A and B are shown apart, each in its own frame.
Chain A
């Protein structure tokens, strides 16, 4: 285990979506800045959009939607618990980012007049812009990284941040997943873009990597932010996705909706008015699954051949192209039958939901010099375009911060401790495998943390996590690849505990299924109209506190406030 020491001004952790954008924008702002983009996979094909993306889900385009309208929509969809300034920072920069991506060569769907072909999927406004050729996304980002002369290090797993005397970022540490070389990288600032924590729960198939999210996104960023002393926001607002059963990937009712496809119950009937994801939508989905009308299906079999052909082209060449392969083996044909859907295991993902490393409208976390963008940060319902917009904001904020900051002193004790922690599994010749620790943690998450949330179950879950944590001290890795899985298992355990602690703290129900608490079934605005923040206390344990919702920039009137509570299709009583 060789030690490799590097020095940069800014280190961007995660080269998927927001990360490349942050690195490019920091370099554009200050070409003299030494910027490193670091990824545990290869930046060419890493992250959630490894195979591209089939569309923008939150495009705020003049003539179709206004930033104010979007802020209102997200506030309502998120039961009021949003920092509107942060959502507005996204919305106000959304169109500019679309135009920049357009100039970079991203192909968006346009109508015959050359205007963006925006579709309506959300409950109130129109924000969905298809990208039938969106499979080239990563290539376009890679070209920009080369143009901006960003340095790239692949296959290095970042495990911890180094902090200085005032708690500020002074470096990052990690190891190479092929050689186990230990990396110490001194820097002035870091941007975390590590994506969702998508490997907390166990998919119904039992296959560990058969997750909705790219399984590289296992909560490393959430864990390193916590250990560096950062606040994490609203972690009890889980992410639960509707998906193709067993395949565990997106069915994409969003994409098919504008073409006439919809989510149906076993009778082939529509039961939700709007396929846009919110906790309330997921609650209706769950009720239909469990309530005798299930299973739930994606219904396309009523559509015309050319429409289905177009949907197949979008769904089977983008984002998760192996969907087509799955359907073929199952004998599924969109033309002939409905496709069985299900809901996913739990995760943290602000891309679709609202939890993550707390950030403000400039992408700053509560740790000086630390920024976060994309699915791992706390700005709600951000999707791919939000990761780009916040990647840019973080890159610019971090570049400005670096200009005014000197390099801090690194703590050799902290470096030695981390090196010892990483090295430990390789030095054991016997013990539990990372697979066993991870499988057990994630199985316990399903058993005890999957909503509906029950206090007693959560308490048992926490006790069992403690036991697994002790067991994890005996993890053995026979090669650097297994070492990566071992370190990830620690992150997964941290995230599982965070999910439980945050959920126990908020003694009400909110966000539909995401935080449906059986012991406190009602929404309690008097006590809980607030964010929750999780952080590290003086002993290194997890502590919780409330944070007031920031004053609204866009007022929400009473009629709109409950729009997302009325998602179930109303059925008039039939005559006897």
Chain B
């Protein structure tokens, strides 16, 4: 293998105290146009898996518990 993982600070942050993904909620994952959110199999909470954000906000707007916050990606800020 000659492939490295480069770490970045992602723009979408999920408040795990508010996220109800363990109850079967996948709203943020469903609405993301770029399909960059996922449910962590261990914590059972939503998280940003790929740093490919259009800062468009459906994930934050549609979250039923207000758990998702989108920042402008650092490179643009």
Contacts and interface: CB of A to CB of B under 8 A. Distances in A.
3 interchain residue pairs of minimum CB distance = A45-B31, A45-B58, A207-B75
Given A51-B61, A322-B56, A247 B72 contact: yes
Given A41-B33, A205-B76, A247-B76, A429 B1 contact: yes
A439 to B, nearest CB: 12
Contacts of B3: 430, 433, 476, 478
A42 B30 contact: yes
Interface string A245-288: 01110000000000000000000000000000000000000000
Interface in B37-56: 49-50, 52-56
A325 B58 contact: no
A44 B1 contact: no
B35 to A, nearest CB: 6
Interface of A: 40-42, 44-47, 50-51, 155, 177-178, 205-211, 214-216, 246-248, 320-322, 325-326, 329-330, 429-430, 433, 476, 478, 481, 484-485
B33 A214 contact: yes
A307 B64 CA distance: 33
Nearest to A485: B52
Contacts of B21: none
A45 B76 contact: no
Contact of B75 (A41, A210, A476): A210
Contact of A326 (B61, B62, B77): B77
Contacts, number: 91
B76 A248 contact: yes
Contacts of A214: 33, 54, 56
B76 A51 contact: no
A321 B34 CA distance: 17
A443 to B, nearest CB: 14
B65 interface: no
B25 to A, nearest CB: 15
Contacts of A247: 72, 76
Given A326-B72, A326-B76, A51 B58 contact: yes
Contact of B57 (A51, A207, A211, A330): A51
A216 B34 contact: yes
Interface of B: 1-3, 30-35, 49-50, 52-58, 61-62, 70-73, 75-77
A429 B1 CA distance: 7
B75 A45 contact: no
Residue picked from A205, A211, A322, A430, most chain B C-beta under 10 Å: A322
A155 B35 contact: yes
24 contacts: A42-B31, A42-B32, A42-B33, A45-B31, A45-B33, A45-B58, A46-B33, A51-B58, A51-B61, A206-B75, A207-B73, A207-B75, A210-B75, A214-B33, A214-B54, A322-B55, A325-B55, A326-B55, A429-B1, A430-B1, A430-B3, A433-B3, A476-B3, A484-B35
A512 to B, nearest CB: 27
A215 B31 contact: no
A477 to B, nearest CB: 11
Contacts of B72: 247, 322, 325-326, 329
Contacts of B53: 209
Contact of B54 (A155, A209, A329): A209
Contacts of A42: 30-33
Contact of B70 (A41, A322, A476, A481): A322
B1 A329 contact: no
Contacts of A246: 76-77
A429 B3 CA distance: 9
A13 to B, nearest CB: 15
A248 B73 CA distance: 12
Contacts of A248: 76
Contacts of B32: 41-42, 45
A96 B2 CA distance: 58
Contacts of B33: 41-42, 45-47, 50, 214-216
Contacts of A322: 55-57, 70, 72
A51 B61 CA distance: 9
Contacts of B62: 45
A50 B56 contact: yes
Contacts of A178: 35
A321 B49 CA distance: 23
A430 B54 CA distance: 29
Nearest to A208: B52
B64 to A, nearest CB: 14
Nearest to A207: B75
A208 B3 CA distance: 19
A177 B32 CA distance: 13
Nearest to A40: B35
Contacts of B30: 42, 44
A478 B72 CA distance: 27
A476 B70 CA distance: 30
A50 B33 CA distance: 8
B34 A44 contact: no
Given A44-B30, A326-B72, A476-B3, A215 B35 contact: no
A45 B53 CA distance: 14
B69 to A, nearest CB: 10
A177 B29 CA distance: 13
Contacts of B71: 325
Contacts of A433: 3
Contact of B35 (A208, A429, A481): A481
